[in-house]
Amino acid sequence: MSSVKSVNIGGLKIGGGAPVRVESMLKTPLEDVAGCVLELDGLARAGCELVRVAFPREGLRGELRQLVTKSPIPIMADIHFNHRFAIAALDCGCRSVRINPGNMGTRGLAELISAARANGAVIRIGSNGGSLSAAQLESADGDRAAALVAAVEEQLLPLASAGFEDVVISAKSSSVPQTTRANFILSQRYPFPLHVGITEAGQGVGGAVKSAVGLGILLSQGIGDTMRVSLTGASKDEAETAYSILRALGVRNKGINFVSCPGCGRRRIDVERMAGRVKALLPDGLPDGLTVAVMGCEVNGPKEAAEADIGLAGTQNGFVLFKKGKTVATGGEDTLEETLKTFLAAPV
């Protein structure tokens, strides 16, 4: 599940057999360093492994330098329009920069390559459907997926010609078909690590579903070394949703796998309410990959969730607690907390 080549950003290996990395981007402006650090701490707790930060002008050098020093996660500076901003970010200690071929082109690439080499830094070329130039679209006859690929190549080929290979490539759009097609093409043409995502996916359920569909198509085909779920909302939600997608695909198992039935006329309990209670009672620090199931009835609950490490199904008198399909305890809803705590303290 990775590219042939790999890069290293602040000790984080991407590609070349490494796990698919989870990224996000700070929503807090760089001017607010304290707020950025607070957001970074939350992202670190959510398992985020690489964070982009917008660096829109050189006057923020001091803030960026502070942030790089204080961050618990490697920082990638997000650069648009001017290659000098990327060089300034490297001078501030960033070991990776993202540049946009749609609004920067090839201006200053030779100078940026020199600075990246001197600092042992990684360059991400990130084309974006919203910033494709008229020339890039025209060269692709209006085919936006092909234009995304052409935009990446506009900057990638000069880097390759200069022998610079500490590169990550990315082609993202708010369209799932455009994004997936562009990434299929790039994955077949180049050995460099791919960053994948559906940009501007939206808010809430709609944004999560759109991201899951696009990322699921790519990751299930072995395409993607690092990913971001781009949601309107808290950045930690992006990281948590990313891990949910990876768990669903069996690619990474960070966190618990929570299973619950949709509920039907046979249900013995309020499944939604019980699932919320069980989640709230689970302690921190449970092993990654642990499966927890909440099922509405005893008819097929333990069988459908037979692989669950912790399973609960509604019964006529309350609930049955089971492990790997075998009953370990029973009780009424008023004893849920005590029964579950006892089981977790000394599992059968």
Which pLDDT value is given to residue 348? Answer: 44
pLDDT digits (tens, 9 = 90+) for 232-277: 999 999 999 999 999 999 999 888 999 999 999 989 999 999 999 9
pLDDT digits (tens, 9 = 90+) for 132-141: 999 999 999 9
β-pairing, 96-99 with 122-128? parallel
Q: How far apart are CA 173 and CA 339, in angstroms?
A: 48
Domains plus CATH for the chain? 6-249 (3.20.20.20), 257-345 (3.30.413.10)
% helix / strand / coil in the chain, to the nearest 5? 45, 20, 35
Beta carbons of 312 and 335 less than 8 angstroms apart:
no
Length of the chain: 348
Q: How far apart are CA 184 and CA 227, in angstroms?
A: 15
pLDDT digits (tens, 9 = 90+) for 180-219: 999 999 999 999 999 999 999 999 999 999 999 999 999 9
Q: How far apart are CA 179 and CA 11, in angstroms?
A: 29
Which pair of tokens denotes residue 174?
């708010």
Instruction: Work out the mean pLDDT of the chain and round it to a whole number.
Output: 94
Which pLDDT value is given to residue 277? Answer: 94
Which pair of tokens denotes residue 224?
């993607």
